[in-house]
């Protein structure tokens, strides 16, 4: 991932889209700073100022805005304190192109929060997207403004929703600025080959140090999903009550108590000042799981989809990275328990929708009841879990596989990367068919299955006329779907004595296509901006009327028609962007 993202072509169009989005959301100055960051990568403030022809204060303001919205990260580069010529710490800034591009994913994020956690969660998500990073206090006051209720009620609601979102890992603490810069792996071809450093040498020690997490990173990973710091070491009051102490000890104790009070107060203050933000990694993980479930639903049946959903949900907390290859290992009993839990949650959500008034008060009690009393269809599904898992494991596509023998018997896991690869392949096949016709699809699949084939072999095996085959192959070569390799028989590489074979390479094809996705999304965004700029006068008129508060204002019939057409155009383009974002996520994020 890191290596593929560092190479120019792929990120070029992602960077263009990122700059376009920043420009339309935050203006030209911020876009200039963002462009400097995305073109040069990790750099210091003076470097940024030198690179973008803006004043220092403008750059600082733009950087603050980018950091506030999580579009840029700050790191502190420190030299070893014991080193002889240690330099003072330097702040480094790096763009988060992935987060910027996910501006297009906002509607999906809000919809997901609404479906999973309810309307309040959607409101909190909306506020977090609006502010980027937000404290609990700010969130509570903003919620009060939106909910039209007393501040106390809003505060309670904000706290409950925030706690729930933190528990589900959809919200996390914003990282501090004292984290060390990420260790960017160099490409193996860029380093000189040398003998492996021997154990105990200075080089080996440096490698080990680079592999270890710094103290700041460990501290952040420990606190990342904690609403308040641990009180275990704070609540020592009253422990020694009733015990007679030495005056000196008593003095020491009172001094310790005072210090602890001070520490506790500052910790609580710190807890109140914590900045929270949406955890895009977790949200993308959930979208990735939803993709797997969707495939199971479309290719198998609803029961299979429910079993897969239960397995993925059970292993979600164990996943350490987004592009995890496999899910957690689960036994049939564990899957059955999760199926019951999910079925209960779904039914509760359905009931909540039907009757809003009954929601909330006895939520936990209901959940406990659900665990015990399940409707017949859920029990029927639980009885089928074993056969469903067996069928999925026996499928040649292997969406699920046997893992090992655990304390509860055989365990199984979901092959997530296999499912995602299958989804990508099917999308690519559909694109090949739409761009080059059924002949193009046939050739693509033929080469994908058989690998290296000569042009004549391709024509014979695909049963297409040689001329059509040749034309299709060269068009697909231009489009990055197939590749041509020359295998010379002699050293002079004469064309008459060379074999030319065609083949499909999965990773370059996928990478090239993901680049095209960014490029196409950028084009749609550019077109949308062009359409809005073309009708700027009309839009200004409407905006002015809205500011003044006029419900009805005079526009000509022609302007009315123009406005209607613009609305339709904008709707179509925005819907296309949301659809494109799903494909971008599939080929880049998942």
Partner 1 sequence: MSAPKAALDAIVEVLRKHKKGVSDDVLQKELPQMTPQDRAKAINDLLGSKRLQLFHVGTGSKRTMHYKEITAEEAAKYKGLGPEETLLYQQIKSVGNTVDAGGRGRLLLGGKGWRGVRGSSPSDHTPLPHPRILDITQPCKAAHPQKYTENQFDAAFIDALRDACMQFIQRKGNTTLREIGEFIASKKFAKVDLRDEDIHSIIQTLVYDGRVDTVADEFDEEDHFTPIMHPVPPATAFTSIPCGVCPVFSECRDDGVVSPATCEYFDKWLEF
Q: Which stretch binds partner 1 (CB under 8 A): 6-14, 94-102, 320-328, 428-436?
A: 428-436
Residues 6+ apart with CB under 8 A from 470: 455, 459
Among 213, 226, 262, 426, binds partner 1 (CB under 8 A): 426
Q: Which stretch binds partner 1 (CB under 8 A): 99-107, 268-276, 369-377, 573-581?
A: 573-581
**Least distance to partner 1 from the beta carbon of 539, Å?**
17
Among 189, 198, 357, 478, binds partner 1 (CB under 8 A): 478
Q: How far apart are the first and last CA of the chain?
A: 11
Q: Is 524 in the site for partner 1 (CB under 8 A)?
A: yes
Between CA 72 and CA 475 the distance in angstroms is 40
Q: Is 105 in the site for partner 1 (CB under 8 A)?
A: no
Residues 6+ apart with CB under 8 A from 503: 447, 451, 452, 453, 482, 483, 485
Q: Is 111 in the site for partner 1 (CB under 8 A)?
A: no
DSSP bridge pairs for 171: 278
Q: Is 569 in the site for partner 1 (CB under 8 A)?
A: yes
Over the window 256 to 295, marking each residue x when it contacts partner 1 by CB under 8 A and - when it does not, the resulting string is ---------------------------------------x
Q: Is 397 in the site for partner 1 (CB under 8 A)?
A: yes
Total binding residues toward partner 1, as defined by CB under 8 A: 51
Question: What tokens does 85 get?
Answer: 């010529």
**Least distance to partner 1 from the beta carbon of 31, Å?**
13
Which C-beta is closer to partner 1: that of 506 or that of 553? 506
Among 100, 162, 378, 446, binds partner 1 (CB under 8 A): 446
CB-based contact 172:276 (threshold 8 Å):
yes
Which C-beta is closer to partner 1: that of 95 or that of 522? 522
The 10 Å CB-count burial string (b at 16+, else e) for 310-334 is bbbbbbbeebeeeebebbbbbbbeb
Local structure of 355: helix, strand or coil = coil
**Least distance to partner 1 from the beta carbon of 298, Å?**
9
Between CA 36 and CA 43 the distance in angstroms is 9
| DSSP track, 57-87 | HHHHHHHHHHHHTTSEEEEEE---TTSTTPP
Q: Is 166 in the site for partner 1 (CB under 8 A)?
A: no
Among 302, 325, 434, 543, binds partner 1 (CB under 8 A): 434
Which C-beta is closer to partner 1: that of 352 or that of 427? 427
Residues 6+ apart with CB under 8 A from 61: 29
CA 250 remoteness from chain centre: 54
Among 182, 185, 406, 466, binds partner 1 (CB under 8 A): 466
What does each C-alpha distance from 154 to 137, 139, 168, 197, 263 come to in angstroms? 11, 9, 21, 60, 29
Which C-beta is closer to partner 1: that of 284 or that of 515? 515
Q: Which of residues 377-396 bind partner 1 (CB under 8 A)?
A: 395-396
Q: Which stretch binds partner 1 (CB under 8 A): 189-197, 273-281, 351-359, 567-575?
A: 567-575
Sign of CA dihedral 530, 531, 535, 538: negative
CB-based contact 473:482 (threshold 8 Å):
yes
CB-based contact 323:338 (threshold 8 Å):
no
| DSSP track, 458-509 | HHHHHT--HHHHHHHHHHHHHTTSSEEEEEESSTT--GGGEEEEEE--HHHH
Helix (H) or strand (E) run with residue 278 in it: strand 276-278
Local structure of 454: helix, strand or coil = strand
Among 340, 583, 588, 590, binds partner 1 (CB under 8 A): 583
Residues 6+ apart with CB under 8 A from 489: 497, 498, 499
Among 267, 299, 410, 455, binds partner 1 (CB under 8 A): 299
CB-based contact 584:514 (threshold 8 Å):
yes
Q: Which stretch binds partner 1 (CB under 8 A): 3-11, 101-109, 206-214, 571-579?
A: 571-579
Which C-beta is closer to partner 1: that of 321 or that of 467? 467
Among 250, 438, 485, 550, binds partner 1 (CB under 8 A): 438
Q: Which stretch binds partner 1 (CB under 8 A): 62-70, 108-116, 158-166, 457-465?
A: 457-465
Q: Which of 57, 59, 53 is nearest to 30 (CA)?
A: 59
Q: Is 414 in the site for partner 1 (CB under 8 A)?
A: no
Q: Is 162 in the site for partner 1 (CB under 8 A)?
A: no
Q: Is 530 in the site for partner 1 (CB under 8 A)?
A: yes
Among 129, 461, 545, 563, binds partner 1 (CB under 8 A): 461
Over the window 38 to 77, marking each residue x when it contacts partner 1 by CB under 8 A and - when it does not, the resulting string is ----------------------------------------
CB-based contact 337:379 (threshold 8 Å):
no
Q: Is 476 in the site for partner 1 (CB under 8 A)?
A: no
Helix (H) or strand (E) run with residue 404 in it: strand 400-406
Which C-beta is closer to partner 1: that of 247 or that of 396? 396
Q: Is 422 in the site for partner 1 (CB under 8 A)?
A: yes
Q: Is 582 in the site for partner 1 (CB under 8 A)?
A: yes
Q: Is 297 in the site for partner 1 (CB under 8 A)?
A: no
Name the residues that contact partner 1, by CB under 8 A.
Answer: 295, 299, 395-397, 422, 426-427, 429-431, 433-435, 438, 441-443, 445-446, 449, 459, 461-467, 478, 516-517, 519-520, 522-524, 526-527, 530-531, 565, 568-569, 572-573, 576, 579-580, 582-583
């Amino acid at each position: 991932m890191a290596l593929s993202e560092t190479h120019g072509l792929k990120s070029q169009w992602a960077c263009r889209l990122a700059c376009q989005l920043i420009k339309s959301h935050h203006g030209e100055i911020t876009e200039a700073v963002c462009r400097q960051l995305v073109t040069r990568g990790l750099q210091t403030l003076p470097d940024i100022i030198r690179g973008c022809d803006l004043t220092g204060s403008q750059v600082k303001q733009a950087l603050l805005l980018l950091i506030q919205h999580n579009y840029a990260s700050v790191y502190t580069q420190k030299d070893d304190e014991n080193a002889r010529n240690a330099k003072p710490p330097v702040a480094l800034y790096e763009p988060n192109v992935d987060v910027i591009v996910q501006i297009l994913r906002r509607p999906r994020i809000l919809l997901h929060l609404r479906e999973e956690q309810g309307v309040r969660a959607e409101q909190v998500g909306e506020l977090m997207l609006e502010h980027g990073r937000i404290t609990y206090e700010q969130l509570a006051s903003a919620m009060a403004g939106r909910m039209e209720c007393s501040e106390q009620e809003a505060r309670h609601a904000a706290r409950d929703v925030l706690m729930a979102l933190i528990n589900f890992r959809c919200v996390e603490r914003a990282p501090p600025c004292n984290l060390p810069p990420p260790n960017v792996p160099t490409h193996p071809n860029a380093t000189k080959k040398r003998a492996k450093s021997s154990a105990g040498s200075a080089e080996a020690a440096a490698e080990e140090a680079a592999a270890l997490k710094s103290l700041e990173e460990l501290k952040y990973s420990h606190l990342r999903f904690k609403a308040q710091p641990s009180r275990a070491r704070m609540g020592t009051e009253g422990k020694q009550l009733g015990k007679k102490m030495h005056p000196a000890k008593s003095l020491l104790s009172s001094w310790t108590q005072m210090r602890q009070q001070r520490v506790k107060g500052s910790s609580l203050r710190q807890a109140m000042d914590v900045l929270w933000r949406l955890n895009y990694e977790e949200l993308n993980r959930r979208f990735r799981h939803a993709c797997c479930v969707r495939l199971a639903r479309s290719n198998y049946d609803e029961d299979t989809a429910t079993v897969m959903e239960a397995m993925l949900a059970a292993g979600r907390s164990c996943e350490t990275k987004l592009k995890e290859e496999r899910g957690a290992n689960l036994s049939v009993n564990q899957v059955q328990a999760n199926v019951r839990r999910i079925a209960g949650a779904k039914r509760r959500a359905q009931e909540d929708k039907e009757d809003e008034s009954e929601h909330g008060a006895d939520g936990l009690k209901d959940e406990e009841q659900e665990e015990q009393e399940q409707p017949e269809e859920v029990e029927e599904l639980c009885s089928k879990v074993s056969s469903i898992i067996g069928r999925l494991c026996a499928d040649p596509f292997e969406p699920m596989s046997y893992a090992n023998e655990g304390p509860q018997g055989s365990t199984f896991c979901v092959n997530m990367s296999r499912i995602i690869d299958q989804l990508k392949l099917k999308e690519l096949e559909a694109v090949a068919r739409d761009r080059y016709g059924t002949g193009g699809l046939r050739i693509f699949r033929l080469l994908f299955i058989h690998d290296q084939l000569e042009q004549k072999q391709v024509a014979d095996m695909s049963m297409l006329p040689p001329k059509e085959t040749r034309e299709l192959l060269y068009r697909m070569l231009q489009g990055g779907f197939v590749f041509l390799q020359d295998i010379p028989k002699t050293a002079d590489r004469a064309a008459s004595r060379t074999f030319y074979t065609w083949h499909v390479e999965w990773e370059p094809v996928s990478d090239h296509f993901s680049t095209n996705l960014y490029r196409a999304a950028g084009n749609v965004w550019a077109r949308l901006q062009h359409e809005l700029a073309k009708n700027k006068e009309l839009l200004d008129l409407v905006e002015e009327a809205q500011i003044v508060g006029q419900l009805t204002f005079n526009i000509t019939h022609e302007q009315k028609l123009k406005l209607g057409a613009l609305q339709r155009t904008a709707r179509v383009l925005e819907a296309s962007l949301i659809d494109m974002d799903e494909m971008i996520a599939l080929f880049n994020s998942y």
